[in-house]
């Protein structure tokens, strides 16, 4: 996508958002950020999974996902992204250019927070996020590697066969392990990712 000299692209907005979080979020040393974290959502009434990518993720006491929309972007895909984010994140934020604010207000679910960014990169809260109660356990497990899924099953005395593929293991975990236990384990694993970084010295 083409960005003019005075237009901030998603990467620049992410840098500004990261700095804003450092100033505003009272982060601790073990609170981690991850750029462009992929995850999956299963299509309703189907076994097909769709790939999504969160522009920025904060893993602290909860899993927080940020979707960035620059001035040159559109909100055309936001309805699907909003649902996908809500299936896996404890807290969801849309960080959009001020030119998208009207449409963002009209289309964004009540539990999702809205951050507004201007041409200078200044970020302000339009609406705070509230705890998301729509998490899907199966989709949440898409953050985990197969070895981590096996570990989660073992720690919770859930039998897994050596022949079980990743999808089968995810199904068993989602059906048999408490959501809070899954959520805490995902948080722990994401904090150890090679791409995870802390903003606190």
Tokens in use for 152? 């989660």
23 and 120 assigned to the same domain: yes
Contacts of 177 (CB under 8 A, 6+ apart): 137, 152, 153, 156, 158
Share of the chain above pLDDT 90, in %: 88
**Cα angle at 42 between 41 and 48, to 5 degrees?**
125
Inside any domain, residue 198: no
Cβ neighbours around 162 below 10 Å, total: 5
Domain that holds residue 179: 137-191
The helix (run of H) or strand (run of E) holding residue 59 is strand 49-59
Residue 67, CA atoms < 13 Å, CB-side half-sphere:
28
Q: What is the mean pLDDT of the chain?
A: 94
Over 90: is that where the pLDDT of 180 sits? yes
- From residue 185, alpha-carbon distances to 61, 121, 149, 176, 177 in Å are 11, 35, 10, 15, 11
Instruction: Look at residue 91 and tell me whether its pLDDT is greater than 50.
Output: yes
Count other Cβ atoms within 10 Å, centred on residue 161.
9
Mean pLDDT computed over 18-43:
93
First to last CA, the chain: 35
- Which domain-ending residue is among 72, 100, 127? 127
Q: Is residue 132 part of a domain?
A: no
pLDDT at 1 over 80: no
Q: What is the pLDDT of residue 6?
A: 61
Q: Say yes or no: 97 and 152 in one domain.
A: no
Give the pLDDT band of residue 128 (cuts 50, 70, 90).
very high
Q: Is the pLDDT of residue 158 over 80?
A: yes
Average pLDDT over residues 83-97: 97
| 117 in a structural domain | yes
């Amino acid at each position: 996508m083409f960005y003019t000299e005075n237009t901030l692209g998603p990467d620049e907005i992410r840098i500004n958002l990261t700095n804003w979080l450092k100033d505003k979020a009272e982060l601790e040393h073990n609170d981690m950020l991850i750029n462009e974290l992929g995850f999956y959502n299963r299509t309703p009434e189907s076994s097909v999974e769709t790939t999504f990518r969160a522009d920025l993720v904060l893993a602290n006491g909860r899993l927080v996902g940020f979707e960035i929309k620059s001035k040159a972007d559109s909100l055309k895909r936001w309805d699907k992204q909003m649902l996908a984010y809500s299936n896996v994140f404890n807290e969801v934020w849309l960080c959009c250019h001020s030119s998208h604010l009207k449409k963002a207000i009209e289309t964004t679910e009540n539990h999702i927070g809205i951050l507004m960014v201007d041409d200078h990169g200044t970020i302000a809260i339009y609406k705070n996020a509230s705890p998301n109660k729509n998490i899907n356990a199966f989709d949440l497990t898409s953050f985990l590697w197969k070895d981590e899924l096996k570990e989660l099953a073992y720690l919770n005395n859930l039998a897994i066969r050596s022949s079980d593929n990743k999808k089968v293991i995810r199904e068993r975990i989602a059906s048999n392990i408490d959501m809070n236990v899954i959520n805490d384990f995902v948080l722990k694993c994401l904090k150890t990712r090679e791409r995870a970084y802390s903003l606190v010295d």
